[in-house]
């Protein structure tokens, strides 16, 4: 079966490595220049070079977002930057500006150019346009239904990327200036304030038609398109993108690993069962703090696809420690603390090649060999005995019971 | 050269009034692909508008500004063929599939690229103009300085939106209908253009409406550019659009007359702006982003 790409976000080098280790075929990241998501911790060129080296060593690709819509004063240094990206071995750039696309083809021809979702491309006519302009891939708009994607794929002359999981713009991407107007932060230059998620009073002439306890909001549930994955793969989609450059390493590991499992299972067996989906639902509930839905894949979003009167779902488990090392002889694990836990807590370990396995937290020791009752200092290194064969880069989460279902 | 003032009528009978007020171009939506226009016309009506605008010496532009799904492409091609046959003067578009389909009909020279937010520097604008388009509409979120810089550097026509509530968000979702369902209200929101939002911690009244193409939201301010017209013309801008939405025909004609007057008497720009600001407090008259740079941080 044709191999498809699982494309994951990387807010920094640490997250890039997590994404690759947990199963991403490619990662996308933003440089310090010419990229959206200014609050994500963006990479300088040395970081990008290191990220490329790491990704390539693990058989993964690196895509760099150069997706700002530049103003007159933003253009300086662009050509040198594109050449730098090519020099350090970046595989592709994700671009919204037509000028940047054309310039990249001219000055850095080894970079693939992927047309950003900021263009809200919804059909093969747009793909034809970019194919004729020499571009390499088009990211489809999140407004496409499953049928729209399938129909588009029948005529697409370029590889197509679609979003599979994560946050949804309420507007056609790139066409929203709510943030500009309401906060002077330019959504198309990295400053989106997510004003669509705020609360509004709705009037007809001067008559209020909102409910005081449930003000109007445009906030959408996040996308979870796992159930559409088989048909999207069959339709010929080349790449499945997870949104969220600002999400935590733990969230990233959980989501990437979940979709990796679904893709691999489908490609190996030709089917995904309810049990496969149920496993992913339970898994995502351990890391995801916003409710999810099918986006546009199932058709025009309905009332239940919006977030009214609720912002979060609450995670069912909490990331408590990162495995730095494990001694198989002594069964001692070297852990880096991320969140509060204590001796006796029920915990679950998982990793790139470790299935979810529960255990009870044993006695904790600090680096001086002193017993620690409660792990309360983030990044503190502690040791504990774990009778599961752990590996470096596995993660440990605390079992909680906040929520049963995501969607 | 007489500067081109582009407006949309509300009904066909408005066209003559708009012409008398000083408008030189009429922009209409079409029944086939409705998208945030004040008027949508059938094929027969489009032919009628063509006859009328020709008789008045006006340009006729058609708004094909929707996003198209794959299933729409054949119909888009047919519609473009009809529009070409009607001999319109220009076609506004945002979806590059329109360019692809228009290429098949050898009519890309009619196209006016109007992608709301995307055209923010002269190099991007030039790349699109190099495709053989008739004109490009600059983003409304850039400064006067940027507009002047772009217009003076590009080879080809650029259009500036000079007046009205600016489009702030297009969503394909039925945001108002969904909300009313959520609060269990039967209040009519579909195609209701009297609706507006106020953010819970702010005061601006932001118009919002929902139609067959989704939900459209507009700025809480009304842009007025009377004082800047001389700079625009000096930089080489000769095409100016007034956003007709949320005005009556009488108000729109007055605005056109005032801009026409300012084009002949640039020194009157400041007084006119101040008069609008003073007398139209409910519209929150401002200069939009002309002197306000937006960025990654506030």
The CATH superfamily of A317-399 is Translation factors (2.40.30.10)
Domain A5-305 has CATH 2.40.30.170: no
- Taking an 8 Å cut-off on Cβ atoms, the answer to whether A205 and B128 are in contact is no
> What is the domain extent for residue B30?
4-167+219-286
- Taking an 8 Å cut-off on Cβ atoms, the answer to whether A202 and B174 are in contact is no
Q: B132 lies in a domain?
A: yes
Neighbours of A344 (CB within 10 A): 11
Rounded mean pLDDT of B51-70? Answer: 97
Q: B238 lies in a domain?
A: yes
Structure confidence by residue, pLDDT tens digits, B158-214: 999 999 999 999 999 999 999 999 999 999 999 999 999 998 888 889 999 999 999
Res. A332: pLDDT tops 90: yes
Res. A83: pLDDT tops 50: yes
Q: What is the pLDDT of residue A272?
A: 97
Q: pLDDT band at B264, cuts 50/70/90?
A: very high
Chain A residues inside the 8 Å CB shell of B115: 175
Q: Which residue has the tokens 């994607």?
A: A149
Q: Which residue has the tokens 């209701």?
A: B192
- Structurally, chain B folds into a number of domains equal to 1
Q: Number of H helices and number of E strands within chain A?
A: 10, 22
Lowest-pLDDT range of A133-137, A188-192, A374-378, B261-265: A188-192
Q: What is the pLDDT of residue A406?
A: 38
Rounded mean pLDDT of B10-28? Answer: 98
Structure confidence by residue, pLDDT tens digits, A101-114: 999 999 999 999 99
Neighbours of A377 (CB within 10 A): 12
- Taking an 8 Å cut-off on Cβ atoms, the answer to whether B96 and A121 are in contact is yes
* Domain limits, chain A: 5-305, 317-399
Res. A263: pLDDT tops 80: yes
Angle value at C-alpha A43, between A39 and A48, nearest 5 degrees: 155
Q: What is the pLDDT of residue A40?
A: 59
Q: B18 lies in a domain?
A: yes
Within 114-133 of A, beta carbons closer than 8 Å to B belong to 118-126, 128-130
Within 15-54 of B, beta carbons closer than 8 Å to A belong to none
Structure confidence by residue, pLDDT tens digits, A23-71: 999 999 998 877 766 555 579 999 999 999 999 999 999 999 998 889 8
- The alpha carbon of residue B57 and the mean position of all alpha carbons in its chain are separated, in whole angstroms, by 21
Bigger pLDDT: A340 vs A237: A237
Residues A348 and A317: beta-carbon distance below 8 Å: yes
Q: B236 lies in a domain?
A: yes
B170 interfaces chain A, CB cutoff of 8 Å: yes
Rounded mean pLDDT of A130-141? Answer: 98
- Taking an 8 Å cut-off on Cβ atoms, the answer to whether A171 and B169 are in contact is yes
Q: How is residue B249 written in tokens?
A: 């025909």
Closest C-alpha among B285, B31, B242, B40 to residue B137: B242
Q: B206 lies in a domain?
A: no
- Taking an 8 Å cut-off on Cβ atoms, the answer to whether B171 and A296 are in contact is no
Global confidence as pTM: 0.93
What is the count of residue pairs from A and B with beta carbons less than 8 Å apart? 233
Q: What is the pLDDT of residue A314?
A: 60
Q: Nearest by CB to A216, from B101, B122, B197: name it.
A: B197
Q: What is the pLDDT of residue B4?
A: 98
Q: What is the pLDDT of residue A190?
A: 67
User: The domain spanning residue B32 has which CATH number?
Assistant: 3.20.20.70
**Distances in whole angstroms, Cα of residue A305 to Cα of each of A65, A359, B297:** 28, 37, 30
Res. A407: pLDDT tops 50: no
Q: Are strands A112-115 and A92-95 parallel, antiparallel or unpaired?
A: parallel
Q: Is ipTM beyond 0.90?
A: yes
Q: B133 lies in a domain?
A: yes
Question: Could you give the CA distance from residue A106 to residue A79 in angstroms, rounded to a whole number?
Answer: 10
Q: Which residue has the tokens 């351990």?
A: A286
Helix residue spans in chain B (DSSP H): 14-21, 43-56, 73-86, 96-104, 122-129, 144-153, 175-182, 229-235, 249-264, 269-279
Chain A residues inside the 8 Å CB shell of B202: 182
């Amino acid at each position: 079966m044709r191999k498809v790409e699982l494309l994951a976000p990387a807010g920094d080098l640490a997250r890039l490595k997590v994404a690759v280790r947990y199963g991403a075929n490619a990662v996308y990241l933003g440089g310090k220049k010419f990229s959206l998501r200014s609050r994500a911790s963006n990479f300088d060129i040395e970081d990008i070079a290191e990220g490329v080296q790491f990704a390539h060593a693990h058989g993964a690709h690196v895509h760099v977002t150069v997706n700002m819509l530049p103003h007159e004063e933003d253009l300086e240094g662009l050509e040198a930057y594109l050449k730098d990206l090519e020099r350090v071995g970046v595989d592709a750039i994700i671009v919204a500006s037509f000028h940047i696309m054309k310039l990249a083809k001219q000055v850095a021809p080894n970079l693939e150019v992927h047309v950003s979702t900021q263009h809200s491309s919804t059909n093969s006519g747009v793909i034809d346009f970019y194919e004729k302009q020499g571009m390499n891939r088009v990211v489809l708009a999140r407004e496409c239904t499953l049928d729209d994607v399938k129909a588009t794929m029948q005529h697409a002359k370029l590889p197509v990327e679609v979003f599979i999981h994560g946050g949804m713009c309420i507007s056609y991407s790139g066409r929203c200036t709510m943030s500009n107007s309401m906060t002077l932060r330019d959504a198309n230059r990295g400053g989106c304030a997510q004003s669509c998620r705020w609360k509004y009073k709705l009037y007809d002439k001067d008559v209020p038609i909102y409910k005081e306890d449930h003000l109007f909001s445009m906030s959408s549930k996040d996308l979870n398109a796992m159930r559409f994955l088989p048909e999207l793969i069959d339709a010929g989609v080349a790449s499945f993108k997870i949104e969220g450059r600002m999400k935590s390493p733990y969230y990233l590991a959980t989501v990437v690993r979940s979709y990796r499992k679904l893709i691999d299972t489908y490609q190996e067996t030709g089917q995904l069962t309810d049990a496969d989906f149920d496993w992913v639902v339970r898994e995502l509930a351990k890391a995801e703090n916003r409710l999810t839905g099918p986006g546009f894949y199932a058709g025009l979003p309905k009332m239940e696809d919006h977030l009214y009167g609720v912002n979060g779902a609450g995670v069912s488990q909490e990331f408590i420690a990162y495995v730095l090392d494990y001694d198989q002889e002594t069964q001692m694990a070297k852990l880096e603390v991320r969140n509060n836990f204590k001796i006796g807590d029920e915990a679950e370990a998982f990793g790139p090649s470790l299935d979810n396995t529960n255990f009870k937290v044993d006695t904790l020791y600090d680096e001086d060999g002193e017993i620690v009752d409660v792990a309360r200092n983030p990044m503190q290194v502690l040791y504990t005995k774990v009778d599961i064969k752990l590996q470096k880069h596995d993660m440990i989460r605390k079992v909680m019971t906040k929520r049963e279902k995501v969607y | 050269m007489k500067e081109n003032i582009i407006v949309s009528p509300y009904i066909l009978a408005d066209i003559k009034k708009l012409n008398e007020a000083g408008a030189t171009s009429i922009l209409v939506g079409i029944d086939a692909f409705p998208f945030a226009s004040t008027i949508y016309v059938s094929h027969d009506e489009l032919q009628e508008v063509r006859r009328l605008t020709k008789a008045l010496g006006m340009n006729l532009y058609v708004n094909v500004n929707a996003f198209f799904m794959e299933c729409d492409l054949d119909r888009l091609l047919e519609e473009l063929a009809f529009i070409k046959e009607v001999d319109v003067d220009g076609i506004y578009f945002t979806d590059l599939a329109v360019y692809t389909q228009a290429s098949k009909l050898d009519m890309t020279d009619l196209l006016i690229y109007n992608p709301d937010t995307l055209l923010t520097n002269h190099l991007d604008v030039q790349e699109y103009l190099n495709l053989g388009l008739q004109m490009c509409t600059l983003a409304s979120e850039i400064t006067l300085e940027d507009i002047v810089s772009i217009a003076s550097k590009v080879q080809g026509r650029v259009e500036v939106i000079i007046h009205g509530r600016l489009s702030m968000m297009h969503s394909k979702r039925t945001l108002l209908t969904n909300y009313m369902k959520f609060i269990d209200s039967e209040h009519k929101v579909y195609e209701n253009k009297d609706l507006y939002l106020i953010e819970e911690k702010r005061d601006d009244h932001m118009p919002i409406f929902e139609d067959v193409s989704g939900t459209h939201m507009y700025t809480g301010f009304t842009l007025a550019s009377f004082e800047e017209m001389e700079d625009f013309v000096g930089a080489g801008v000769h095409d100016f659009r007034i956003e007709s939405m949320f005005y009556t025909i009488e108000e729109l004609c007055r605005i056109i007359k005032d801009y026409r007057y300012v084009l002949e008497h640039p020194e009157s720009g400041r007084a006119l702006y101040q008069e609008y600001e003073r007398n139209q407090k409910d519209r929150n008259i401002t200069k939009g982003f002309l002197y306000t740079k937006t960025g990654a941080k506030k």
